[in-house]
C-alpha cells in the first residue's frame, strides 16, 4: 500500500520560520501566543481532530490559523486536496480576510518561495445578496431619471455583483434586483449572467469564506441530501465561534409570538371571518395564559423550565384543531391560508417538542427573550475541525 508523507514536521518548521523570521522582516512583531496558536491549528489538522481555541485581542489569531491552514493544504497529496472553509460572524472580517490578510500573506509567501502560486479565495453568500442582471434591467427601466441617487445606485449595480458593496442601495431596490430563489431556465441573460459565472468561479479557490448562517444552511443541505451550497471540504475554521449558537437559534428556532397571533386574527377579521377570528383569538389567549402561568419572573435574564401541564397540552391541541379547520372556510385568500398553515406548523412543532421532552424529563428549556448572551465571556474564540463535514457537532 502506497503511503504519502504527511509533511507534519516540515509544516511546523516552516511555521516557525514564517513567524520568527519572514514576517518580522515585513514589519510584524514576534508573538509567542500567535506561534503557539498556529502550531495548535497544525496539530488539529494533521491529527484530524477538533480544537476550540480562545485568543485575546491582539494575539493575531486570524493570521495564525491562515498560515496553519495554508501549510497543511500545501503538503496535502494533490489528489486529496479540497478547499478550506472559513466561517465568520461579521461581514467586516470576511472582507478583511479576502482583501487584506490573504493578499498580503500570499505576496509575502510567494516572495520568500514558500508557495509557488497565489492563494485564491472567494466569499460565499446567499443568492439574495447578489444582483440579477435581468431583474436589474427591468427595475432600472421603471425608475425616473430625476431620482439621481436611486439611478446612481442601480448604475453601480450593473458593475458590482455583490450588493453589500453598492452604496446607498435601498432595501426596496435590493429586494427588486436580487437573484430570485429559482432562476428561470429561459432567462434571456442566462449565458452572460454574472451570478452564474460567479457560481462557476467559486468552485475553484483554495479557501471558501462564508458566514455562520451559510455554513449551517450547507450542513442542513448535506443532512437532507439536497444540493450543496459549499464545495466539499475537509478542513473547517469557525472564527468568532461564540456567535455560532446564536446563528443556529436564529435559523432553527420556531417561535409562537402573541404579536403574530394577534396580527393573524386581525387579518381574518378584516377578511370578514369574524367568528373564526374570535374563536382563534380565544384559543391563542388561552395558550398564552397557560404558558405564562406560574412564570412571573420572565423579565429576569435567566432561563426557566417549561413543564408541559395538562392545561398547556389542551390549549395547544385546541389551537392546532382550529388551525386545521381553517381549510374548510369558504373562499379564503391564499395569503391567509399560507399564514394559517405557517402558524399551524409552529404549533404542531412546539407540541411535538413538548411531548418528546415530557416523555424523557417532563421539562424543556424556555429561555427568556432577554436572556444574557455568552459572548461577553469570550475575548475571541474560534474552532478548527478536520474531517468529513457530514454535520457540525463540536
CATH number of the structural domain spanning residue 237: 3.40.50
CA distance 268 to 277: 6
Residues 83 and 213 reside in one and the same domain:
yes
Whether 371 maps to a domain, the answer reads: no
Closest to 102 in 3D by CA, of 122, 80, 83: 122
- Measured at the CA of 316, the angle between CA 314 and CA 317, to 5 degrees, comes to 65
Whether 311 maps to a domain, the answer reads: yes
- Paired with 84 in beta bridges are 207, 235
CA distance 60 to 52: 16
Residues 110 and 221 reside in one and the same domain:
yes
Residues 17 and 79 reside in one and the same domain:
yes
Residue 225 DSSP class: T
Residues 159 and 297 reside in one and the same domain:
no
Whether 338 maps to a domain, the answer reads: yes
Q: Under a CB-based contact definition with an 8 Å cutoff, are residues 216 and 248 in contact?
A: yes
Give residue 15's pLDDT. 95
Residues 267 and 240 reside in one and the same domain:
no
Whether 263 maps to a domain, the answer reads: yes
Residues 338 and 355 reside in one and the same domain:
yes
Residues 67 and 216 reside in one and the same domain:
yes
Residues 25 and 102 reside in one and the same domain:
yes
Structural domains of the chain, count: 3
Residues 178 and 275 reside in one and the same domain:
no
Cell numbers representing residue 150 in the block: 436611486
CA distance 152 to 145: 10
Whether 152 maps to a domain, the answer reads: yes
Give the containing element (helix H, strand E) for 329: none
Residues 211 and 92 reside in one and the same domain:
yes
Give residue 21's pLDDT. 94
pLDDT profile of the chain (394 residues), mean per 10: 65 94 92 93 90 85 94 86 90 90 94 91 89 90 87 90 89 89 80 87 88 90 84 89 86 67 83 87 83 55 61 83 81 81 76 58 34 36 56 46
Give residue 306's pLDDT. 59
Cell numbers representing residue 128 in the block: 439574495
Torsions phi, psi for 307 (to 5 deg):
-105, 130
- Paired with 51 in beta bridges are 384
CA distance 284 to 249: 24
Residues 54 and 118 reside in one and the same domain:
yes
Q: Under a CB-based contact definition with an 8 Å cutoff, are residues 35 and 20 in contact?
A: yes
Whether 392 maps to a domain, the answer reads: no
Residues 98 and 242 reside in one and the same domain:
yes
Other CB atoms closer than 10 Å to residue 296's CB: what's the count?
9
Domain holding 186, by residue range, is: 128-197
CA separation, residue 235 to residues 4, 216, 226, 368 (Å): 19, 15, 21, 36
CA separation, residue 344 to residues 178, 317, 367, 376 (Å): 30, 11, 22, 37
CA distance 13 to 39: 10
CA separation, residue 306 to residues 83, 176, 258, 292 (Å): 43, 42, 17, 10
Whether 346 maps to a domain, the answer reads: yes
Q: Under a CB-based contact definition with an 8 Å cutoff, are residues 70 and 120 in contact?
A: no
CA distance 229 to 222: 9
Whether 369 maps to a domain, the answer reads: no
CA distance 58 to 184: 48
- Paired with 305 in beta bridges are 365
Amino acid at each position: 500500500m502506497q503511503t504519502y508523507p504527511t509533511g507534519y514536521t516540515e509544516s511546523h518548521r516552516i511555521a516557525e520560520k514564517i513567524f520568527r523570521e519572514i514576517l518580522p522582516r515585513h514589519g510584524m512583531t514576534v508573538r509567542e501566543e500567535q506561534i503557539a496558536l498556529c502550531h495548535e491549528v497544525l496539530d488539529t489538522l494533521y491529527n484530524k481532530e477538533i480544537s476550540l481555541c480562545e485568543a485575546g485581542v491582539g494575539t493575531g489569531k486570524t493570521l495564525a490559523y491562515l498560515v496553519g491552514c495554508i501549510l497543511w493544504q500545501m503538503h496535502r497529496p494533490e489528489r486529496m486536496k479540497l478547499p478550506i472553509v472559513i466561517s465568520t460572524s461579521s461581514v467586516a472580517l470576511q472582507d478583511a480576510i479576502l482583501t487584506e490578510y490573504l493578499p498580503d500573506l500570499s505576496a509575502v509567501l510567494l516572495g520568500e518561495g514558500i508557495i509557488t502560486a497565489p492563494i485564491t479565495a472567494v466569499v460565499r453568500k446567499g443568492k439574495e445578496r447578489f444582483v440579477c442582471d435581468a431583474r436589474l434591467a427591468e427595475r432600472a427601466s421603471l425608475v425616473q431619471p430625476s431620482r439621481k441617487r436611486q439611478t446612481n445606485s442601480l448604475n453601480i449595480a450593473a458593475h458590482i455583483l455583490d450588493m453589500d458593496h453598492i452604496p446607498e442601495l435601498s432595501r426596496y431596490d435590493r429586494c427588486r434586483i436580487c437573484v430570485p430563489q429559482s432562476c428561470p431556465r429561459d432567462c434571456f441573460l442566462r449565458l452572460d449572467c454574472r451570478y452564474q459565472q460567479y457560481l462557476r468561479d467559486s468552485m475553484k479557490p483554495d479557501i471558501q469564506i462564508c458566514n455562520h448562517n451559510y455554513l449551517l444552511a450547507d450542513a442542513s443541505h448535506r443532512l437532507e441530501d439536497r444540493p450543496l451550497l459549499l464545495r466539499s471540504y475537509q478542513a473547517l475554521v469557525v472564527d468568532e465561534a461564540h456567535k455560532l449558537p446564536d446563528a443556529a437559534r436564529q435559523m432553527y428556532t420556531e417561535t409562537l409570538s402573541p404579536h403574530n397571533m394577534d396580527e393573524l386574527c386581525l387579518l381574518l377579521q378584516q377578511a370578514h371571518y369574524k367568528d373564526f377570528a374570535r374563536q382563534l383569538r380565544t384559543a391563542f389567549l388561552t395558550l398564552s395564559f397557560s404558558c405564562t402561568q406560574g412564570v412571573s419572573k420572565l423579565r429576569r435574564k435567566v432561563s426557566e423550565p417549561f413543564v408541559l401541564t395538562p392545561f398547556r397540552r389542551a390549549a395547544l391541541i385546541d389551537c392546532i384543531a382550529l388551525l386545521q379547520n381553517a381549510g374548510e372556510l369558504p373562499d379564503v385568500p391564499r395569503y391567509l391560508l399560507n399564514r394559517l398553515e405557517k402558524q399551524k406548523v409552529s404549533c404542531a412543532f412546539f407540541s411535538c417538542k413538548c411531548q418528546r421532552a415530557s416523555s424523557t424529563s417532563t421539562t424543556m428549556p424556555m429561555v427568556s427573550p432577554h436572556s444574557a448572551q455568552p459572548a461577553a465571556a469570550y475575548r475571541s474564540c474560534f474552532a478548527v475541525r478536520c474531517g468529513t463535514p457530514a454535520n457540525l457537532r463540536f
